[in-house]
Structures are given as C-alpha cells and as structure tokens.
Amino acid sequence: MRPISATIDFAALRHNYGVARRHAAGAKALAVVKANAYGHGIARVARALVDADGYAVVELEAAVRLRETGYQQRIVLLEGFFEPPELSVMREYRLAAVVHSFEQIEMMRSLAPGPGIDVMVKLNSGMNRLGFQPGDFAAALEQVKASPAVGTITLITHFANADDERGVQWQLERFERAAAGERLPRSLANSAAILRYPQTHADVVRPGIMLYGCSPFAESTGADLGLKPVMTLASEIIAVRDLAPGEAVGYGGAYTAESGQRIGVVACGYADGYPRHAPTGTPVLVGDRVTRTVGRVSMDMLTVDLSGAPEARVGTNVVLWGAGNPVEHVAAAAGTVGYELMCAVAPRVRMVEQVNG
C-alpha cells in the first residue's frame, strides 16, 4: 500500500473544542465543520465532537447527513439558502440558516405554512461579503420577525481582521449600533476573535480553524495557543539517491546540488493535496529531524534534503505537516494558510482515525 495517510487525532479535536469552550465560557460553541470539516472528514469530526453545542456548515447535503446520522443539536447553514426548494428541506431536517439578503426573505414568503425555520440574520459590519447593510438592518429584521416561516432569530456578523492588527473594534461598534435595543441572541466570534477578543463572545461562538489545532494568526502556531494538531499528513521515503555535484532533481531541474548531496523521494505530491507551489526549503520532518524540500513538487512525489538526516533510508517516516511539523510553518513557506492545506487533502489519501491517546 502506498504509504501516505492522514491521521486524525480525536483527543486533540476534543481538547481544542474544550479550549474554545473555556475561552468563551457561557457562550454556546458551534463547531464549524464546513468543507468536509476543513478536510478532516465531517462525519469523523462530528463523531469526535458528539457533545458539541451545534454544527455549522455551508453545504445543505452535509447538514442533512448530519441530521440523518442522528445529531439533534443545532445545525446552521452559514451561507444560508440559495433557492426556494431548499427551504422545505431545511424545515424537514430542522436546519437553521443565515439570512443575509432581501432575496432570501422574499424566498421565505413562498414557503407553505408549517413549523418556523431558525435564522441568523446577518449584518455586513465591514467585511463586505454577506449581510445587510447597517442602514437596512432594522428593516430586514422587521421583515424577518413578521415572516411566518421564521422560528427563532439570532443576530450574526463576521470579522475581517480578527487575526491582524486592525482588530475587531471597528466592526464591533457597527454591530452594536445596528443591534442596539434588540434583545435577540448574538453570534460574532470566529476562532481568532474567540482567542483574542473576549468582548466578542456574546451568546454563540463559531470556532473553525482552532478546532483543528491550527492558529488563525500568522505569527503563532496552534501549540503557542494551547491547541493540539489534529491532522498529521505523513508518508515515507520510497527512494534515496546520492546526487553528484551539479546534478539536478525533478521536473525542470529546479534544484541543483552544489556539492554531493543525499536526497530522499517521498510518496506525496500535489495529487495528494501537497501544494505544488511549495518552494525549495519548505519544512518537512524526516524521522525526527526537520529538513527541507528540494526541487519541484510533482504529482505523486516530492524530494527532500537528507544531508541533515544521515540515518534516513527507504521506509523512514516523513511528516508533511502535523505532529512535529506545524502546518502553519509549511503554509508560511508555501505562501498560504493552514486552512487551505488541510482543505486540499485529496480523496486518495487514506484517513486513519486515532481514537485514543
């Protein structure tokens, strides 16, 4: 069997959810499991977090599947619904939805009488993706309150800069102004705001990336924040080669050995989800030593520098990211974020559940 696998650590997931809960004590925490739980497998993550207060996704099919599996908690669609037929599905499966546009309110008018659908009415407080403008918020809320299709109402907004220097205060002020006088429950915080801004915790928080042990901040790793990595993408060295001075490796000969150099070929490539644009120098753990990739990442393989790992041979374990090689470091080297790397793990990578320990 090809040696690549992604191990998912259930205890780490529970630990990280607990960290979110402790930071936002008193608030409910919706586990954000969109995008197949950031690449970790939604069914698997829901099983690990069976006691979560609720789940948030963007895919209706994923929400239905969670409900069919038997989870009774709140399940929220973070982008809401797109077409009227989805509303009857939402009602049947008791799914809650973000309502961010007058078009959606209009769609709700066409729904036949029946039990109300729980909604989260979204304010655009400055991110300028989804949500009602501050000047429209009161009118939107009046229409939602008057709609017979609506069950409970929560107010929601999303931060654009909770992870950087600009922070949340400017958006928080807009939200508080728009929501002034409303006694409805509120949901504002993503992982970065949960970790950094207690004034945003309100009634419901929405931890995503932190559940998976990855830091939302560029300047730290999950471990710095008390989080544990959940996914370890690992493979093995499947060939070892001694390059003579001047010899190049891989497509385009993008890396040339200046002096004699031992390199290892690892069974992991971009078809496994490893970023092709990761340059020479991207950190990789070989055995128990951190070394670096060399040359271009190809579809099924990549190559690593073994000069600092003399004991490495065919069969030596390689951690592409995860325990011992933080995904944040790999992402930084590749010019991206841990979110994108984890979401991109390909279906051909075997997932292994580590349930104890």
Ligand X SMILES: *Cc1c(COP(=O)(O)O)cnc(C)c1O
Q: Which is nearer to ligand X, 23 or 34 (CB)?
A: 34
Under the criterion CB under 6 A, does residue 301 sit at the interface with ligand X?
Answer: no
Q: Which is nearer to ligand X, 142 or 164 (CB)?
A: 164
Structure-block tokens of residue 304: 């690593």
Q: Which is nearer to ligand X, 175 or 270 (CB)?
A: 175
Which residues inside 217-276 make contact with ligand X, applying CB under 6 A? none
Q: How far is the CB of 80 from ligand X (least distance, A)?
A: 11
Contact 191, 207 (CB under 8 A): yes
- The window from 81-89, 171-179, 205-213, 226-234 that contacts ligand X (CB under 6 A) reads 205-213
Which residues inside 49-108 make contact with ligand X, applying CB under 6 A? 78
Contact 116, 148 (CB under 8 A): yes
Give the Cα separation of 119 and 156 in Å (integer): 10
Going residue by residue from 139 to 168, which x/- string records binding to ligand X, judged by CB under 6 A?
-------------------x----------
28 is catalytic: no
The residue annotated as part of the active site, out of 34, 38, 55, 255, is: 34
Going residue by residue from 185 to 204, which x/- string records binding to ligand X, judged by CB under 6 A?
-----xx-------------
Under the criterion CB under 6 A, does residue 131 sit at the interface with ligand X?
Answer: no
Q: How far is the CB of 44 from ligand X (least distance, A)?
A: 18
Give the Cα separation of 83 and 80 in Å (integer): 10
Q: Which is nearer to ligand X, 34 or 296 (CB)?
A: 34
- The window from 86-94, 145-153, 207-215, 323-331 that contacts ligand X (CB under 6 A) reads 207-215
Q: How far is the CB of 158 from ligand X (least distance, A)?
A: 4
Q: Which is nearer to ligand X, 19 or 285 (CB)?
A: 19
Q: Which is nearer to ligand X, 45 or 238 (CB)?
A: 45
Contact 192, 216 (CB under 8 A): yes
Going residue by residue from 11 to 50, which x/- string records binding to ligand X, judged by CB under 6 A?
---------------------x-x----------------
Under the criterion CB under 6 A, does residue 206 sit at the interface with ligand X?
Answer: yes
Which residue's Cβ lies closest to ligand X? Answer: 208
Under the criterion CB under 6 A, does residue 208 sit at the interface with ligand X?
Answer: yes
- Encoded amino acid at 64, one letter: V
Q: How far is the CB of 275 from ligand X (least distance, A)?
A: 19
Of 160, 157, 165, nearest in space to 141 by CA: 157
Contact 189, 197 (CB under 8 A): yes
Of the candidate residues 39, 126, 131, 207, the single one contacting ligand X (CB under 6 A) = 207
Q: How far is the CB of 209 from ligand X (least distance, A)?
A: 4
Please state the three-class secondary structure of the chain as a single string.
Answer: CCCCEEEEEHHHHHHHHHHHHHHCCCCEEEEECHHHHHCCCHHHHHHHCCCCCEEEECCHHHHHHHHHHCCCCEEEECCCCCCCHHHHHHHHCCCEEEECCHHHHHHHHCCCCCCCEEEEEEECCCCCCCCECHHHHHHHHHHHHHCCCEEEEEEECCCCCCCCCCCCHHHHHHHHHHHCCCCCCEECCCHHHHHHCHHHCCCEECCCHHHHCCCCCCCCCCHHHCCCCCEEEEEEEEEEEEECCCCEECHHHCEECCCCEEEEEECCCHHHCCCCCCCCCCEEEECCEEEEEECCCCCCCEEEECCCCCCCCCCCEEEEEECCECHHHHHHHCCCCHHHHHHCCCCCCEEEEECCC
251 is catalytic: yes
Of the candidate residues 105, 108, 150, 209, the single one contacting ligand X (CB under 6 A) = 209
Interface with ligand X: number of residues (CB under 6 A): 12
Q: Which is nearer to ligand X, 126 or 208 (CB)?
A: 208
Residues of the shown chain interacting with ligand X in the complex, contacts defined by CB under 6 A: 32, 34, 78, 158, 190-191, 206-210, 216
Annotated active-site positions, please?
34, 251
